[in-house]
Amino acid sequence: MNTAFQELLEIRNRADMPTVKITGSDPVYSSRFKIAETGAAVLAATGVAISDIWEMKTGRPQDVSVDVRHAAAALNSVAHLMLRQPDGAYKVYGDSPLAQMAYDTIRAYPTKDGRWFMPHFGMKQLKERVLEILDCEQTQESIAKAVAKWDAEDLDQTIAAANACGGIARTEEEWRNHPHGRALAAQAVVEIEKIGDSAPEPFPEGGPALQGVRVLDLTRILAGPVAARTMAEHGADVLMVSAPHVPQIKKFVLELSHGKRSCFLDLNTPEEAARLKDLVRGADVFSQGYRPGVLEARGFGPEELARERPGLVYTSINCYGSGGPLSNRGGWEQIAQTVTGISQEVGNPPELLPVYFCDYSTGYLGAYGTLLALARRAVEGGSYHVRVSLCRSAMFLQDQGRIDYPSEGMGIPDEEARSLQMDSETTYGQVRHLGPVIRFSESTPGWSWPSPALGADKAEWLPRDMAR
Encode pLDDT of 9-38 as tens digits. 999 999 998 999 999 999 999 999 999 999
Is pLDDT at 468 greater than 80 in this prediction? no
Neighbours of 34 (CB within 10 A): 25
pLDDT of 248 reads 84
Cα 265 to Cα 240: distance, rounded to the nearest angstrom: 10
pLDDT of 93 reads 86
Cα 257 to Cα 286: distance, rounded to the nearest angstrom: 16
pLDDT of 407 reads 79
- pLDDT bin (cut points 50, 70, 90) of residue 1 is low
SS3 per residue for 182-220: HHHHCCCCCEEEEEECCCCCCCCCCCCCCCCCEEEEECC
Is pLDDT at 465 greater than 90 in this prediction? no
Yes or no: say if 371 and 50 are a contact pair by the CB < 8 Å rule.
Answer: yes
Neighbours of 91 (CB within 10 A): 11
pLDDT of 249 reads 83
Nearest residue to 342 (alpha-carbon basis) of 145, 167, 120, 465: 167
Q: Is the dihedral of CA 334, 338, 339, 345 positive or negative?
A: positive
Is pLDDT at 97 greater than 80 in this prediction? no
pLDDT of 95 reads 75
- pLDDT bin (cut points 50, 70, 90) of residue 124 is confident
**Maximum C-alpha span of the chain:** 65
Distances (CA, A) of 108 to 169, 338, 343: 7, 8, 9
Is pLDDT at 250 greater than 90 in this prediction? no
Which H or E run includes 439?
strand 439-440
CA angle 152, 157, 159 (to 5 degrees): 95
What would the mean pLDDT of 206-233 be, rounded to a whole number?
96
By percentage, how much of the chain surpasses pLDDT 70?
99
Cα 386 to Cα 194: distance, rounded to the nearest angstrom: 9
pLDDT of 245 reads 86
| Helix (H/G/I), strand (E/B), else coil: 287 | strand
Is pLDDT at 233 greater than 70 in this prediction? yes
- pLDDT bin (cut points 50, 70, 90) of residue 98 is low
What would the mean pLDDT of 166-184 be, rounded to a whole number?
98
Lowest average pLDDT, out of 334-343, 417-426, 459-468, goes to 459-468
Higher pLDDT, 100 or 285: 285
SS3 per residue for 121-149: CCCHHHHHHHHHHHCCCCCHHHHHHHHCC
Instruction: Find residue 21's DSSP bridge partners.
Output: 65
Distances (CA, A) of 294 to 163, 195, 332, 387, 433: 12, 19, 17, 15, 34
Which H or E run includes 360?
helix 357-380
pLDDT of 326 reads 96
Q: Which pLDDT tens digit goes with each residue over 144-153?
A: 999 999 999 9
What DSSP designation does 454 have? T
Global pTM reads: 0.96
Neighbours of 425 (CB within 10 A): 11
Q: Which pLDDT tens digit goes with each residue over 419-437?
A: 999 999 998 899 999 999 9
- pLDDT bin (cut points 50, 70, 90) of residue 221 is confident
By percentage, how much of the chain surpasses pLDDT 90?
87
